[in-house]
Amino acid sequence: MIQQFMKDSQQHNTILDLAAALNLSPATVSRALNNTSYVKKETKERVLEMALKLGYRKNKMAAGLRNNKTNTIGLILPKISMYFHAEVVTVVQNLLHAKGYNLIIGQSNDDPGMEKELAETFFSSRVDAIIVSCTLETEDFSPFDIFSTHQIPILFYDRVPPETYRARVIKGDDFNGGFLAGKHLVEAGCKHIGMINGPMTSNIYEARAAGFIAALRMLQGKEEPKLFFQQQLQAEETREALKKMFKGKSKPDGLFVTSDRNAVTVLQYAKENGIKIPQELRLVGYSNDPVTAVVSPSITTIDQYPALFGEKLVATLMEMIESPPTDEYQPAVITPVSLIERESA
């Protein structure tokens, strides 16, 4: 009876197949499947039962084409293996899944060219919205213009464009993170405080540095911290920076390293060179990567609450998707940070 309506197993059953098997119109079947408008209770049950029997699954592409809505969100980030990003992605994906959304993830590998390609691809896939954390070097944000011009919600997070590029933004309180680090080192009695930072082209490193310097100025009365290095956050460069710092006579006794991975590198360098942490050098990292808790000495660091961050991200995104687009200025959402005190400082 039913077999006769089944196609070759490799074929996909469609609404038309269901309709034929039930002597109904495709319209009614669609209504029954989607709970839209009224369908006789009995009819609905028959449809659902048959759908199960024939192993029917909606073709999302067809639905997407018709509805101009894909229930897919694109997410572009530099590297998924970074602790903060991995945590955020996990939360975002779980929350979106619960709301019936699919997530497409693209890694730019910190390459602006790749970032642009991903933006194009996601646009072609007609994502309903897009979430972006930029590369360290993104200076041209025009590849993202297509989204705003087509009224597709775009939300930047963590590494975001400058305010001059009008866009919705959610980011951690990097200024405060830097400030807390500086304050902690000053209050620990450090006199020669240095910093190893990421490239200033990225808002997060710029803000962490600003907060850090503000703390030193305010609490230490110093005009400008002397031992101050910027670099790409590679282990080799960190070692170079350390070599320079410890060559002179006024060695640092406190160091703020704006990424935990690099803070670990500092730890290793110190061990290799007989520098005692925290006795001779106090150290503060950034992100509360679990690794900071298990090295010894454990590393004092700044927690960014990635789970909370992810929740706010999704809440903001949903608001953007559901509410009609507005030209009103929307201030950046800032999520909290706090200092986690451990052995290194």
Partner DNA sequence: TTGAAAGCGTTACCAC
Partner DNA sequence: GTGGTAACGCTTTCAA
Counting contacts by CB under 7 A, is residue 315 touching DNA? Answer: no
Q: Which does 302 bind (CB under 5 to 8 A by kind): DNA, a second copy, none?
A: none
Token representation of residue 52: 């199960």
Counting contacts by CB under 7 A, is residue 27 touching DNA? Answer: yes
Counting contacts by CB under 7 A, is residue 72 touching DNA? Answer: no
SS3 call for 168: strand
Using alpha carbons, list the distances in angstroms from residue 185 to 71, 96, 148: 47, 40, 43
Counting contacts by CB under 7 A, is residue 31 touching DNA? Answer: yes
Token representation of residue 309: 């961050």
Is residue 217 within 8 A of residue 193, CB to CB? The reply is no
Size of the site for a second copy (CB under 8 A): 54
Size of the site for DNA (CB under 7 A): 30
Task: Name residues contacting a second copy, limited to 113-142 (CB under 8 A).
Answer: 114, 117-118, 120-121, 123-126
Computed on alpha carbons and rounded to an integer, the radius of gyration of the chain in Å comes to 26
- Rounded to an integer, what distance in angstroms lies between the CA atom of residue 281 and that of residue 192? 10
Per the listing, tokens 């955020």 go with 88
What is the per-residue binding string for a second copy in 59-88, x denoting contact by CB under 8 A?
xxxx-xx----x--------xxx-x--xx-
Sign, Cα dihedral of 24, 27, 30, 31: negative
Contacts of 206 (CB under 8 A, 6+ apart): 200
- Rounded to an integer, what distance in angstroms lies between the CA atom of residue 252 and that of residue 115? 38
Counting contacts by CB under 8 A, is residue 14 touching a second copy? Answer: no
- Rounded to an integer, what distance in angstroms lies between the CA atom of residue 56 and that of residue 273? 66
Counting contacts by CB under 7 A, is residue 38 touching DNA? Answer: yes
Q: Which does 318 bind (CB under 5 to 8 A by kind): a second copy, DNA, none?
A: none
Counting contacts by CB under 7 A, is residue 332 touching DNA? Answer: no
Q: Which does 109 bind (CB under 5 to 8 A by kind): DNA, a second copy, none?
A: a second copy
Task: Name residues contacting a second copy, limited to 301-330 (CB under 8 A).
Answer: none
Identify the residue among 99, 226, 271, 276 touching a second copy (CB under 8 A): 271
CB of 330 to DNA, least distance (A): 28
CB of 18 to DNA, least distance (A): 8
Q: Which stretch binds DNA (CB under 7 A): 39-47, 86-94, 153-161, 306-314?
A: 39-47
Identify the residue among 62, 218, 307, 315 touching DNA (CB under 7 A): 62
Residues 101-140 as b/e (b if ≥16 CB within 10 A, e otherwise) read bebbbbbbebbbebbbebbeebbeebbbbbbbbbbbebee
Which residues sit at the interface with DNA, rule CB under 7 A?
Answer: 12, 14-16, 23-31, 33-34, 36-40, 43, 56, 58-59, 62-63, 65-68
